[in-house]
Amino acid sequence: MPTSPAAVPLAVAASERPVPTTQPPIAPALVWLMAITCGLVVANLYYNQPLLVEISTAFGITEGRASLVATATQVGYTLGLLFMVPLGDKLEQKRLIILQLLGAAVCLVVVATAPTFGILLFASLLTGIFSSVPQLLMPLAAHLANDQERGRVVGKVMSGLLIGILLSRTISGYVGAHFGWRTMFWAAAATMVVLGGILLLMLPRHQPLFSGSYKDLLRSLGNLTREQPLLRRSALVGACMFAGFSAFWTTLVFFLESPAYGYHSDTAGLFGLIGASGALAAPLAGKSADKRGAQYALGAGILLFLGAYVLLALGGYYLIGLIIGVVVLDVGQQLTHISNQSQVFALVPEARSRLNTVYMTACFIGASLGSYAGGLAWTAFGWLGVCGVGLVFVGSAFLVNRFYNR
């Protein structure tokens, strides 16, 4: 850690205090609470994906237009990453997290009662903004953990987030098929209120390090991006990978409910349960990064992702090929994401929330682009078009990781 002003990066030197080097271990119950919270909150972004067919029917719109709900939610999450998550380095984090949970609850109620598609789209955008809580909890977990346990703690919290992303589709698919799509969002709103109450009692207060203005805080994002070439490369790779990941999951429900399979939303949602096996790759990525370096795990993840899309293109019309493709795709995605994030968090410990903002904002810009491109590809070219879009994105990630060194 830097010990003199001259050694501290320009983005953090003027307004932050040194971080203590020793602290007691974090309580296991708190780690589990943070992991569960990450999973339940990030699920707000993905509940709509298995329900897009029901939403298109309810509002009398095309499936391609209905996919804009998924895009709007991810755009909102990106805005939350860019404008709210940096506040984790400035405002008291417990209060900020609880306020965001209550904001998400209100937005989810609007989604559940939306009388028009336009209101649904706008409420979905706001839901994404207020659901950026996991990206506040990840740096907080890294801060509360001591040096000896930090990787393990972050890995556990990240596993909760990854499982939430994937199981959300299973849960919403079942609820949508049996109780209607609006019921899912009522349940999600109630969950946010309950979580807020639990965190109010159990989450420790944390005084952040940044003492400058909000304008200075946002300006420092640019400083960090300019000063850290590895951050730029990780952000670009993450954006491409999330784009390919989102293109698949946004359109999978259309493929499964098409004549090729003829499934309903509850069966489509079960593929999220299959994909949850990818969360098992999180600790493997950490171990691989420790032993062989994060770049090794990153390269392996990109190759697995590439292979998954080839398999999905050639064998996606066969159930076994689709299942294997889902598992490989998710393992590859988690390997690349954990490896990227482990590199990013190590760059400037005093600015982890902002480093996470830069990286995750790029990822969710990619995710939004992937949802939009996937919807267009499905409408124009069907399943093979979606696979082609995915291959373009993962190929771009490979090229950036291999050749981008600035």
The model scores a pTM over 0.95: no
Q: Would you write out the chain's pLDDT as a tens digit for each of its 406 residues? A: 333 333 334 444 444 444 444 567 788 899 999 999 999 999 999 999 889 989 999 999 888 889 899 889 988 998 998 899 998 888 888 999 999 999 999 999 999 999 999 999 999 999 999 999 999 998 888 778 776 666 677 777 877 887 888 788 788 988 988 899 999 999 999 999 999 999 999 999 877 777 788 888 899 999 999 999 999 999 999 999 999 999 998 899 889 988 999 887 667 667 777 776 666 656 566 556 556 667 787 888 899 999 999 999 999 999 999 999 998 998 888 888 878 877 887 788 778 888 988 998 899 889 889 988 998 999 999 999 999 999 999 999 999 998 877 6
Report the 10 Å Cβ neighbour count for 320.
Answer: 8
Domain chopping of the chain, boundaries:
25-403
Sign of CA dihedral 268, 368, 213, 23: positive
Round to whole Å and give the CA distance between 204 and 43.
Answer: 24
Angle subtended by helix axes 150-179 and 265-275, to nearest 10: 170
HSE value, Cβ hemisphere, 13 Å, CA-based, for 335:
22
Query: Between the CA of residue 51 and those of 38, 182, 251, 275, 288, what are the distances in Å?
Result: 22, 9, 11, 18, 37
Neighbours of 92 (CB within 10 A): 13
> Nearest CA to 138 among 338, 387, 369?
338
Whose tokens are 């990840």? That residue is 138
**For helices 150-179 and 134-144, angle between their N-to-C axes, nearest 10 degrees:** 150
What single-letter DSSP state applies at residue 279?
Answer: G
Q: To 10 degrees, the CA torsion angle through 388, 393, 396, 400? A: -160
Distance of CA 120 to the CA centre of its chain: 21
Architecture of domain 25-403: Up-down Bundle (1.20)
